[in-house]
Each structure stands twice: as C-alpha cells, then as structure tokens.
Amino acid sequence: MNEEVGKEEKGGISRRRVAAGVAWSVPVILTTEAAPPASASPGKYEALLDYANLQAANFVQFDKPTNSGQYRSGLGPTGFHLKNSSGVASGAIKGSISISSANTADPSVGIYSFSGGTLTATSTAPGKYTANFELQAGVANGATAQFSLGFYYTGSSKTAGAGKKFNLTVSFSSPTGLLDLATELTLN
C-alpha cells in the first residue's frame, strides 16, 4: 500500500498531498484575518446634542447682548458633547458649526458664546452663519468633552420672524468617522 502511494506522488498530485496542504494553510489564513493589528482599530466616540428642558434656548440681541430685555426665547440645543471610549486619548477635536435658513431676511442667528474650546466665525452672512471649533487638548479615554452654545439674533425687533426656523449642523473633521449632528433652531 505504501508503495502505491509513493508511486502516485512521483507521477503527480495525490489526495494526501492536497489534504496536507489544506490542513496547513487554513489555520494561517484564519489567523491573519481574525486578528488585525491594534493600529487598524478606529476607536469609539459618541457625539450628541444637549438640550435643556423642553428644548428651550435663549437668543440675545446681537447689537446689545448685555442690555436687559433683549433676550428672545426659542427652541434648540444648549450645546453638544463628545465621549471618548476608544481606549486611548484622542488628538485635537476639530469641526465646524453651520446655521442656515433659506429666508435671508432679518432676523438671522449665530453663536454668541461658546465654551469647551475655541470658536472662530468664518461667515456671518444673512441666512448663513459658519464657524470652526477646536479643542486642542483632545479628550482623555473615558472622558467627555462638553461644548456649550449661546445664540444671538440680528435686527432690532424682538418679534420679527417669530417662528422662523434655521438648520443647525455640527460636523467633526477630527476624530474622523463621526456623523454630523443636525437639528433645527426656532425663534419664538
């Protein structure tokens, strides 16, 4: 019997040779696919908008933000947060905030106060406010970065544009892979 096997191997590929090759290659293939390197792991971050009771938001009058009686109520977020569950400290957190409305007539809205990082307005055109934000220090693993927003409205009338709606979007450029946070602002 052993002589017959030996004769078959010399003349070509035997079933034993194929079976032995498969037996040795399968574990190698499974091992390389099942265990990617740690650096390929993208990490885990959670970003959410924060709201006060009943989604209430206040807007200050742009030209007179400290004058009493200039506040206007509305609906919208009071900020947003980013939780780091990646296993390592994040790098800098960067992104942009845009507030837009198809109706460019007064009032427009924008961000009057921002905490949790730096904010640089890039456009305050009627109907389109944009700004970039950054938290250079990043967020430690297991920690949450809080960003508070305070809004302004333009124009001198506290009642103009009552019910006017604006689209607010927070986008992240770092860390990558986060979805945009989108919602609506409404002036009362």
176 and 120 both lie in a single domain: yes
Higher pLDDT, 10 or 130: 130
12 and 94 both lie in a single domain: no
pLDDT at 30: 34
Residue with the two structure tokens 């970003």: 47
47 and 86 both lie in a single domain: yes
Taking the model in full, what pTM does it have? 0.74
Report d(CA 145, CA 138) in Å as an integer.
8
95 and 175 both lie in a single domain: yes
- Assess whether pLDDT exceeds 90 at residue 90: yes
pLDDT-derived band at 173 (thresholds 50, 70, 90) equals very high
CATH number, domain with residue 88: 2.60.40
Tell me how far CA of residue 141 lies from CA of 44, 87, 172, 173, in angstroms: 10, 6, 18, 19
Mean pLDDT confidence for 168-182? 95
Report d(CA 64, CA 61) in Å as an integer.
5
CA angle, residues 50, 167, 57, in degrees to nearest 5: 40
Residue with the two structure tokens 């389109």: 128
pLDDT at 43: 52
12 and 103 both lie in a single domain: no
The whole domain housing 100 covers 42-187
